[in-house]
Amino acid sequence: MRYIALTLLLSLSTTADSTYPDTEWESRSPESLGLDSSKVDRLLDASFVDDSTMATVLIKNGYIVGERYAEGYDKNSRGTSWSVAKSYYASLIGTAIDRGEIASLDDKVSNYLPYFTEDRQDITIRQVLNMSSGLEYPANQHENMFFEKDHLAYAKTVKRDKEPDSKFEYNNVNSMLLSDILLRATGKNAKTLLKERIMDPTKVSSYSAWTDNAGNSLTYCCLDMSARDYARFGLLFSRNGKWEDEQLISEEFVKETFQQVWDLPPENGYQSERGYSMHWWISRFDEERKIFNASGKFGQYIFVDKEKDVVFVRITKYTPPPGDVQNLGFLYSLSFLGMDNVIALARLLIEWGFLNADENIISPATLEDGVSREFIRDYSQIIDYLTFLEDE
């Protein structure tokens, strides 16, 4: 009886020290959850060395233990995800496997996409998620796809030029193809699936999931929401795919995701090695700690330390445009200039703040004040600060 009572007491204590947020998050002091306030401040201070930082939120055991916003922004301010969205849409593959709509990660993509013929016919879903499909990979990572009316039509035409699993290449086309795989496997578009299977159950109601001008879900980019709401997705993965009493994504899929498939050298301004697995980046993977992150262009991050049940979100400055259907207006008609020139022009218009000024030009756009520099430069130090938050 004494053993049973002690077990029950420990169980109640554990439950009391962890939670899931309802429509609002609860806050606690870092010390009440075993963290050091000065170390939390150190992490947030380091994040705001970069003037592009809009918001940071630190979660421990489902409670907010640290939060900070740039002047003019607050808990309701939306940031755009860029490629953080890749991790969201990859999770829908997990939900489709759980429901038997997709048999396995090792299914051939051609089982779902009949146009995946000839040398593409043996590429698997796992290889697509691990960025090792072998699809053609230009220097711009297919960034020019963003300036097409129909992003999926563009992705369908990309051929294979190397053996699958022979090389890691961060290819946006891999992620855009998830839009069609999910549609054909489930009968629903990815935007609807995201709402039904991830957003509604985790109580995210204020967000935008962008589509292209042809109505395709942009599964390689472009979700807009608050830092607090991004943290909900991080918490879902920190809790092995479970939200309260519901297993939204199987624990097996989360564990499969949080493995190190690729160990990559420093590049693109990062000073340390990083890894990659199943549309997530890896910040740290050693005996001491394993920290994964959903990462987006210009410095958007959802860091997850599953062992410590810690989630850290950092997003950059952004002004949400109206709507959630991309329309680049006159920019589409300039394709005769060549995509590189159209991209250069679009970036110039973004810097000048004109991209969303015309009601016929609606698109996610990060201006110069939202482009990360110091955060990426100091990335290794920030990961160290995130690793060592405990009160010693």
The tens digit of pLDDT for each residue in 213-226 reads: 999 999 999 999 99
Domain-embedded: residue 348: no
Q: Give the pLDDT band (50/70/90) at residue 367.
A: confident
pLDDT the model gives residue 353 = 67
| Residue 297: pLDDT over 80 | yes
Grade residue 320 by pLDDT with cuts at 50, 70 and 90: very high
Say yes or no to pLDDT of 139 above 60. Answer: yes
Is 6 part of a structural domain of the chain?
A: no
Confidence of residue 12 (pLDDT cuts 50, 70, 90): very low
- For CA atoms 284, 66, 389, 63, the dihedral sign is negative
pLDDT in tens, 243-294: 999 999 999 999 999 999 999 888 877 878 899 999 999 999 998 899 999 9
- Structural domain that includes position 273: 20-327+362-387
In this prediction the pTM is: 0.93
> Which of 190, 222, 188 has its CA nearest to residue 207?
222
Residue 112 has pLDDT above 90, yes or no: yes
pLDDT at residue number 291: 98
**What is the DSSP secondary structure assignment for residue 20, as one 8-state letter?**
-
Amino acid residing at 168? F
- CB of 59 closer than 8 Å to CB of 311: yes
Locate 310 and state its tokens.
């810690």
pLDDT of residue 344: 72
140 neighbors 125 (Cβ within 8 angstroms): no
CATH of the domain at 237: 3.40.710.10
What is the pLDDT at residue 143?
82
Q: Is residue 210 part of a domain?
A: yes
Q: Which of the two residues, 354 and 76, has the higher pLDDT score?
A: 76
pLDDT band at 16 (very low <50, low <70, confident <90, very high): low
Task: Please give the tally of structural domains in the chain.
Answer: 1
Rg (the chain; Cα; Å): 21
Show Cβ contacts of residue 76 under 8 Å, excluding neighbours closer than 6 positions: 206, 226
Residue 345 counted as domain residue: no
Q: Is 141 exposed, middle or buried (0-12, 13-18, 19+ CB in 10 A)?
A: middle
Is 217 part of any domain? yes
User: Which residues are registered as beta bridge partners of 60?
Assistant: 63, 310
Residue type present at position 91: S
Two tokens, residue 321: 């445009």
In a domain, 13, yes or no: no
In the predicted structure, residue 5 carries a pLDDT above the cut 50 = no
Is 379 part of a structural domain of the chain?
yes
Token duo for residue 30: 């870092």
Q: What pLDDT was estimated at residue 161? A: 95
pLDDT for 163 equals 97
Residue 336, in any domain of the structure: no
* Percent over 90 (pLDDT), the chain: 79
Give 365's pLDDT tier (boundaries 50, 70, 90).
Answer: confident
Over the stretch 152-194, which tens digit does the pLDDT of each residue have?
A: 999 999 999 999 999 999 999 999 999 999 999 999 999 999 9
Mean pLDDT, the chain, rounded, equals: 91
Q: What is the average pLDDT across 363-384?
A: 94
216-237: b (≥16 Cβ within 10 Å) or e? bbbbbbbbbbbbbbbbbbbbbb
Q: Angle at Cα 197 formed by Cα 194 and Cα 203, nearest 5°?
A: 90
Contact 93, 181 (CB under 8 A): yes
Please state, in angstroms and rounded to a whole number, the distance separating the CA atoms of residues 347 and 335.
Answer: 15
250 dihedral zone (left: phi>0; alpha: psi -120 to 50; beta): beta
How many helices (DSSP H) and strands (DSSP E) are in the chain? Answer: 12, 13
Residue 305: beta bridge partners?
Answer: 310
Q: What is the mean pLDDT of residues 54-81?
A: 98
CB atoms within 10 A of CB 40: 23
